[in-house]
Amino acid sequence: MFWAYVLKNNEGRTYIGHTSDLVSRVEGHHNGESYWTSRYENWELVYFESLPSRAAAMKREKEFKSGKGRDELKRKGVL
């Protein structure tokens, strides 16, 4: 099982990624173990989807980062 996910912080910044271990990855973001998110604080997991393969999770992450994907996340109230 793989995951595509969205984090948001209290400054309104977002981080979009994928992983095979969602709980561990989010904890890593909270503990400063991720380069990009370590520069900012107070990350909250606001959305995630389970996917059957790493390739599918990577594809979904890329979709989330596109204009169409961001529009979808806005419609869902995530962004």
pLDDT for position 61: 98
Whole-prediction pTM value? 0.93
pLDDT for position 35: 92
Domains and CATH numbers, the chain: 2-75 (3.40.1440.10)
pLDDT for position 57: 98
**Average pLDDT value for residue range 63-76:** 96
The predicted-structure confidence for 2-61, as pLDDT tens digits, reads as follows 999 999 999 999 999 999 999 999 999 999 999 999 999 899 999 999 999 999 999 999
pLDDT for position 28: 94
Q: 3-class DSSP state for residue 3?
A: strand
- Name the burial class of residue 31, with classes exposed (0-12), middle (13-18) and buried (19+) by CB atoms within 10 angstroms of its CB: exposed
- Name the DSSP class of 36: T
pLDDT for position 47: 98
